[in-house]
């Protein structure tokens, strides 16, 4: 695509910064941009199009125009495209200009995708996306649609994604929920630093507790017990996350967690020597227990042999095995 | 729910079976339903797979075809749990009823309501199996990949099967259902070699999880009717679902059964708690939004299926064992896919299951012992 434009000087007052139709860029480091404009001027003039009444809308260069305003400049050099150029072509220009300058972050990619052929059949859109984003492979429809949905998400979820406290796959799930529920999760995740796996686990636990007990997820996540954990000033984020997870796990699987706790207490009661470990059958389903110890040489092994005999004679072990 | 012309939107007929002698009466029955002759299952599978909800769509598309494999197959047990040594008579697949927990939803990809019409092949194989008097084949059932009785009003298959089993004394046929389609069974020469079996559950589970099935009282009334026609009976508490108050409810079902039928005519009662392939969970969540059954305390079992935490299963089984002992001590009760520990803690014994059930069939149905 080669769109002709003319370069000339334009009064900043005739550039409409309120028209955000083609805005793609996320907030960036305006200070360094400012320093660069101060010392070198605008190396890459913004791209604009006349929008009527002597005004111009920005296609690419929103941050540059903002910086020029803060520097009290009155006139800047711009590239002006023909007013007859349709919106879809302007959108392609906006995306290509941004993608050509830097790697777009996930929010910028989302805004870019929303600009490229919304409502058109996927086949047509795929070509536009590939060209405008300079992709080497045809884009994956499901992935692109997921990324695109980001920019219609609630602000709190977006902030969570931007600050990395809400993982992208989790944000997608929240986006499908009712707003109040989604926001309860968003606040919960933003208050703790959790890996994707843990976010996923908490989401599943809370959704399932809510479904089982006829509660909303909000009620589960904002229960007194959870609030007490999250508001405990003596605990750091890791401790809070661990305890909140444990609390939800217990609420979701009360009998299983009780059995695990009982088993651990009973094993503790056996006073096993250091380095010896007793594990229950996986999920308490099978009937095979595992006793683990380490040895370096024959003497160690013989010592462990005696330890095994001692353990086998403990009444506590019988109690465990007769569960 | 019976498979009738009213609930089928298209009948597909495999070109290989269109000239079979038993196809015409079936087509006469479905005369007002659009039909299409197809060259293999691809068109049927495509139509099902393209639907927004392929599982629901498959319940309305009947595919009359040929079983190209074995009709009599060993029930796929697993070595980790005690298996009952059942044989499946493979008459068709899938079902018109719609139970949230139905394993068939995740078993077939995509699901298809297939009815195998090459009955001459079926009976030839069955003759061979029955005549061989194989001691490992004493109990054969049609209700594993489908419900035994949904095909009743038009297929005529049960009639032929019941009478075929009635002419031998080596094995029993079990017809298992959640319907009450028993009209065709009266006056057949069954010779007590067909066991009429019903899956039973609490009224709450039937109402909330078993769409389009007959209510409990209707199933038990049908069982009583079959008993009056001389048929031996069986009941399957499977899947038992754990929910608040379930123990009392399941005990009531035990009592209700024996308010309707006499224990001497019951060949066996099986007990099995809800277990499922992990893939089924998402299907249940999306197709049965109000169902809570997947939110129990499940663990991954030794066969990689999800099953209730063992102490919870044992607790419910102990209640059932006591209720059965009190009300019908002579009836053989057994667990479907449980291990020694569960048997010991619930029934105080660890049996050799296949012979136990064979003996029951000898006692209640009169099959001959030995080979
Ligand atoms: S009756 Fe049986 S086969 Fe039919 S849907 Fe229910 S569980 Fe599945």
Contact between chains at A285 and B312 (C-beta distance less than 8 A): no
pLDDT digits (tens, 9 = 90+) for B150-199: 998 899 899 999 999 999 999 999 999 999 999 999 999 999 999 999 99
**Of all helices (H) and strands (E), which one includes residue B63?**
strand B61-65
Is there an atom of ligand 1 within 6 Å of B178 CB?
yes
Flag whether residue B295 sits within 8 Å of chain A, measured between CB atoms. Answer: yes
Kindly state whether residue B371 falls inside one of the protein's structural domains. no
Is there an atom of ligand 1 within 6 Å of B238 CB?
no
Helices A30-40 & A62-70 angle (0-180, nearest 10): 70
Q: How far apart are CA A168 and CA B114, in angstroms?
A: 42
Is there an atom of ligand 1 within 6 Å of B98 CB?
yes
Burial A188-226 (b: 16+ CB within 10 A, else e): bbbebebeeebbebbbebbbbbbbbeeeebbbbbebeeb
Structure confidence at residue A149 (pLDDT): 87
Q: How far apart are CA B96 and CA B105, in angstroms?
A: 12
Q: How far apart are CA A10 and CA B246, in angstroms?
A: 78
Within 13 Å and on the Cβ side, how many CA atoms surround B152? Answer: 21
Cα distances from B133 to residues A4, B119, B138, B285, in angstroms, run: 89, 21, 8, 45
Structure confidence at residue B338 (pLDDT): 93
Q: Which residues pair with B269 in a beta bridge?
A: B235, B333
Minimum CA distance residue for ligand 1 atom 7: B102
Centre a 10 Å sphere on the Cβ of residue B268 and count the other Cβ atoms it contains: 23
With a CB cutoff of 8 Å and minimum separation 6, the contacts of A148 are A110, A113, A114
* B299: closest CA of chain A, how far (Å): 6
Q: Which of A42-51, B137-146, B259-268 has the highest mean pLDDT?
A: B259-268
pLDDT tens digits, chain A, 323 residues: what are they?
566 788 999 999 999 999 999 999 877 778 888 998 988 888 889 999 999 999 999 999 999 999 999 999 999 999 999 999 999 999 999 999 999 988 898 889 999 999 998 889 988 899 999 999 999 888 999 888 888 888 888 889 989 988 899 999 999 999 999 999 999 999 999 998 899 999 999 999 999 999 999 999 999 999 999 999 999 999 998 999 999 999 999 999 999 999 999 999 999 999 999 989 999 999 999 999 999 999 999 998 998 888 899 999 999 999 999 87
Q: How far apart are CA A304 and CA A314, in angstroms?
A: 15
Q: Is B263 left (phi over 0), alpha (psi -120 to 50) or beta?
A: alpha
Question: Which of B295, B307, B339 comes nearest A212 by C-beta?
Answer: B295
Closest CA in chain A for residue B281: A208
Burial of A86 (0-12, 13-18, 19+ CB in 10 A): exposed
Per DSSP bridges, beta strands A75-81 and B333-335 are unpaired
Of the residues B98, B141, B291, which should be mutated to test ligand 1's pocket, given the most ligand atoms within 8 Å of the CB?
B98
Kindly state whether residue B133 falls inside one of the protein's structural domains. yes
What DSSP letter does each residue of B236-294 carry, written as one string?
Answer: EEEEE---TTHHHHHHHHHHHHHHHS-GGGEEEEEEEE-EE-HHHHHHHHHH-TT--GG
The CATH number that applies at residue B166 is 3.80.30.30
Taking the model in full, what pTM does it have? 0.85
Quote the ligand 1 centre to B146 CA distance (angstroms). Answer: 7
Collapsed DSSP state (helix, strand, coil) of residue A300: helix
Please check whether residue A31 is in contact with residue A66, taking contact to mean a CB–CB distance below 8 angstroms: no
Which atom of ligand 1 approaches the CA of B103 most closely? 8
Collapsed DSSP state (helix, strand, coil) of residue B89: strand
Kindly state whether residue B265 falls inside one of the protein's structural domains. yes
Is there an atom of ligand 1 within 6 Å of B55 CB?
no
Flag whether residue A283 sits within 8 Å of chain B, measured between CB atoms. Answer: yes
For residue B312, the chain A residues in CB contact (below 8 A) are 255
Cα distances from B358 to residues B40, B88, B236, B270, B367, in angstroms, run: 39, 15, 17, 14, 9
Contact between chains at B340 and A285 (C-beta distance less than 8 A): no
| Residue range B88-99: mean pLDDT, rounded | 96
Is there an atom of ligand 1 within 6 Å of B113 CB?
no
Segments forming the whole domain that contains residue B57: 5-365
Question: Which of A208, A212, A259 comes nearest B311 by C-beta?
Answer: A259
pLDDT digits (tens, 9 = 90+) for B297-351: 999 999 999 999 999 999 999 999 999 999 999 999 999 889 999 999 999 998 8
Please check whether residue B318 is in contact with residue B271, taking contact to mean a CB–CB distance below 8 angstroms: no
Contact between chains at A211 and B301 (C-beta distance less than 8 A): no
User: In residues, how long is chain B?
Assistant: 371
What's the gap between Cα B18 and its chain centre?
Answer: 28
Flag whether residue B292 sits within 8 Å of chain A, measured between CB atoms. Answer: yes
Minimum CA distance residue for ligand 1 atom 6: B99
Flag whether residue B311 sits within 8 Å of chain A, measured between CB atoms. Answer: yes
Quote the ligand 1 centre to B147 CA distance (angstroms). Answer: 6
Helices B216-228 & B246-260 angle (0-180, nearest 10): 30
Q: Which domains does chain A have, with CATH numbers?
A: 5-150 (3.90.1530.10), 153-252 (no CATH), 269-321 (no CATH)
Interface size A-B, in CB pairs within 8 Å, comes to 40
Contact between chains at B310 and A208 (C-beta distance less than 8 A): no
Flag whether residue B303 sits within 8 Å of chain A, measured between CB atoms. Answer: no
Helices A179-191 & A237-252 angle (0-180, nearest 10): 130
Of the residues B58, B104, B112, B206, which should be mutated to test ligand 1's pocket, given the most ligand atoms within 8 Å of the CB?
B104
Per DSSP bridges, beta strands A55-60 and B333-335 are unpaired
Cα distances from B53 to residues B3, B60, B105, B283, in angstroms, run: 19, 12, 11, 10
For residue A282, the chain B residues in CB contact (below 8 A) are 300
Closest CA in chain B for residue A205: B295
Please check whether residue A284 is in contact with residue B310, taking contact to mean a CB–CB distance below 8 angstroms: yes
Estimate the share of chain A in helix, then strand, then coil, as percent rounded to the nearest 5: 60, 10, 30
Collapsed DSSP state (helix, strand, coil) of residue A135: coil
Kindly state whether residue B109 falls inside one of the protein's structural domains. yes
Structure tokens belonging to residue B126: 């069955």
Closest CA in chain B for residue A210: B295
ipTM: 0.90
Name the A residues in 218-257 with CB < 8 Å from any B CB.
253-256
Flag whether residue A122 sits within 8 Å of chain B, measured between CB atoms. Answer: no
SS3 letters across A59-112: EECHHHHHHHHHCCCCEEEEEEECCCCCHHHHHHHHHHHHHHHCCCCHHHHHHH
Name the B residues in 66-95 with CB < 8 Å from any A CB.
80
Structure tokens belonging to residue A133: 């984003």
With a CB cutoff of 8 Å and minimum separation 6, the contacts of B23 are B13, B17, B64, B117
Structure confidence at residue A152 (pLDDT): 84
Q: Decide if pLDDT at B78 tops 80.
A: no
Predicted confidence band of residue B4 (pLDDT cuts 50, 70, 90): confident
Flag whether residue B229 sits within 8 Å of chain A, measured between CB atoms. Answer: no
Structure confidence at residue A1 (pLDDT): 57
Closest CA in chain B for residue A207: B295
Pick the range with the lowest mean pLDDT from A295-309, B219-233, B237-251: A295-309
Is there an atom of ligand 1 within 6 Å of B174 CB?
no
With a CB cutoff of 8 Å and minimum separation 6, the contacts of B111 are B48, B54, B55, B58, B93, B94, B104, B105
Structure tokens belonging to residue B134: 């194989």
Kindly state whether residue B90 falls inside one of the protein's structural domains. yes
Count of domains observed in chain B: 1
- Report chain B's terminal Cα–Cα distance, integer Å: 38
Quote the ligand 1 centre to B74 CA distance (angstroms). Answer: 20
Structure confidence at residue A132 (pLDDT): 92
Q: Of B266, B248, B213, B259, whose CA–CA distance to B319 is shortest?
A: B248
- Report chain A's terminal Cα–Cα distance, integer Å: 74
Q: What is the DSSP letter of B39?
A: S
Flag whether residue B309 sits within 8 Å of chain A, measured between CB atoms. Answer: yes
Q: How far apart are CA A222 and CA A214, in angstroms?
A: 15
Is there an atom of ligand 1 within 6 Å of B338 CB?
no
With a CB cutoff of 8 Å and minimum separation 6, the contacts of B365 are B172, B192, B193, B195, B232, B267
**Of all helices (H) and strands (E), which one includes residue A315?**
helix A315-321
pLDDT digits (tens, 9 = 90+) for B40-64: 999 999 999 999 999 999 999 999 9
Kindly state whether residue B183 falls inside one of the protein's structural domains. yes
With a CB cutoff of 8 Å and minimum separation 6, the contacts of A8 are A77, A78, A80
**Residue to substitute from A208, A285, A289, A320, interface B, most B β-carbons within 10 A:** A285
What DSSP letter does each residue of B104-166 carry, written as one string?
Answer: HHHHSSS--EEEE--HHHHHHHHHHHHHHT-TT--EEES-SSB-TTTTHHHH-HHHHHHHHHH
Cα distances from B85 to residues A218, A258, B196, B338, B353, in angstroms, run: 49, 36, 19, 13, 8
With a CB cutoff of 8 Å and minimum separation 6, the contacts of B5 are B29, B30, B31, B32, B33
Kindly state whether residue B157 falls inside one of the protein's structural domains. yes
Predicted confidence band of residue B208 (pLDDT cuts 50, 70, 90): very high
Contact between chains at B299 and A211 (C-beta distance less than 8 A): no
The three-point CA angle A188-A192-A197 to 5° equals 90
Kindly state whether residue B201 falls inside one of the protein's structural domains. yes
Structure tokens belonging to residue B249: 């409810």
Is there an atom of ligand 1 within 6 Å of B1 CB?
no
């Amino acid at each position: 695509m080669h769109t002709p434009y003319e370069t000339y000087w334009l009064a900043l007052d005739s550039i409409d910064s309120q028209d955000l139709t083609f805005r793609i860029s996320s907030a960036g480091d305006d200070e360094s941009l400012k320093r660069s404009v101060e010392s070198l001027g605008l190396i890459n003039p913004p791209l604009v199009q006349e929008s009527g009444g002597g005004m111009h809308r920005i296609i690419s260069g929103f941050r540059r125009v903002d910086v020029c305003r803060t520097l009290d400049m009155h006139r800047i050099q711009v590239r002006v495209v023909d007013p007859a150029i349709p919106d879809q072509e302007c959108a392609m220009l906006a995306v290509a200009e941004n993608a050509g300058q830097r790697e777009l972050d996930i929010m910028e990619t989302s805004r870019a995708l929303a600009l490229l052929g919304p409502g058109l059949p996927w086949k047509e859109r795929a070509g536009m996306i590939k060209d405008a984003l300079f992709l080497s492979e045809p884009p994956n429809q499901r992935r692109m649609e997921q990324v695109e949905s980001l920019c219609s998400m609630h602000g709190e979820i977006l902030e969570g994604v931007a600050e990395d406290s809400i993982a992208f796959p989790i944000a997608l799930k929240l986006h499908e929920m009712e707003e109040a529920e989604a926001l309860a999760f968003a606040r919960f995740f933003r208050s703790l630093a959790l890996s994707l796996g843990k976010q996923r686990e908490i989401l599943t636990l809370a959704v399932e507790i809510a479904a089982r007990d006829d509660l909303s997820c909000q009620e589960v996540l904002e229960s007194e017990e959870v609030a007490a954990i999250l508001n405990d000033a003596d605990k750091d984020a890791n401790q809070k996350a661990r305890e909140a997870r444990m609390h939800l796990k217990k609420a979701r699987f009360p009998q299983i967690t009780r059995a695990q706790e009982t088993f651990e207490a009973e094993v503790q009661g056996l006073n096993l020597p250091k380095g010896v470990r007793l594990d229950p059958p996986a999920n308490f389903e099978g009937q095979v227990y595992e006793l683990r110890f380490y040895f370096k040489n024959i003497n160690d092994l013989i010592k462990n042999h005696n330890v095994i005999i001692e353990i086998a004679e403990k009444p506590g072990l019988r109690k465990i095995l007769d569960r | 729910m019976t498979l009738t012309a009213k609930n089928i939107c298209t009948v597909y007929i495999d070109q290989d079976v269109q000239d079979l002698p038993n196809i015409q009466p079936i087509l006469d029955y479905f005369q007002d339903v659009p039909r299409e002759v197809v060259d293999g299952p691809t068109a049927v599978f495509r139509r099902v797979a393209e639907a927004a909800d392929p599982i629901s769509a498959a319940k309305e598309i009947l595919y009359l075809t040929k079983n190209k494999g074995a009709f009599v197959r060993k029930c796929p047990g697993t070595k980790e749990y005690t298996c009952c040594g059942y044989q499946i008579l493979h008459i068709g697949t899938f079902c018109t009823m719609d139970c949230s927990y139905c394993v068939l939803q995740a078993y077939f990809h995509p699901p298809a309501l297939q009815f195998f019409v090459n009955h001459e092949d079926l009976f030839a194989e069955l003759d061979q199996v029955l005549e061989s008097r194989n001691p490992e084949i004493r109990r054969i059932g049609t209700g594993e990949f489908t419900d035994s009785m949904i095909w009743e009003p038009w297929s005529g298959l049960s009639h032929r099967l019941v009478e075929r089993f009635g002419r031998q004394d080596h094995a029993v046929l079990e017809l298992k259902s959640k319907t009450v389609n028993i009209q065709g069974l009266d006056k057949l020469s069954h010779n007590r070699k067909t066991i009429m079996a019903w899956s039973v559950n609490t009224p709450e589970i039937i109402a909330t999880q078993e769409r389009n099935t007959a209510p409990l009282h209707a199933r038990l009334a049908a069982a009583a009717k079959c008993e009056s026609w001389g048929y031996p009976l069986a009941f399957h508490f499977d899947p038992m679902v754990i929910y608040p108050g379930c123990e009392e409810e399941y005990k009531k079902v035990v009592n209700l059964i024996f308010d309707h039928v006499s224990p001497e005519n019951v060949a066996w009662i099986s007990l099995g708690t809800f277990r499922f392939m992990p893939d089924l969970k998402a299907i249940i969540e999306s197709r049965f939004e109000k169902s809570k059954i997947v939110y129990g305390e499940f663990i991954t079992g030794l066969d990689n299926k999800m099953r209730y935490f063992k102490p919870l299963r044992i607790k419910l089984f102990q209640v059932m064992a006591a209720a059965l002992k009190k009300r019908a001590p002579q009836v053989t009760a057994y667990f479907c896919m449980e291990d020694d520990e569960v048997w010991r803690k619930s029934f105080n014994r660890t049996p050799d299951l296949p012979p136990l059930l064979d003996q029951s069939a000898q006692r209640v149905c009169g099959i001959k012992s030995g080979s």
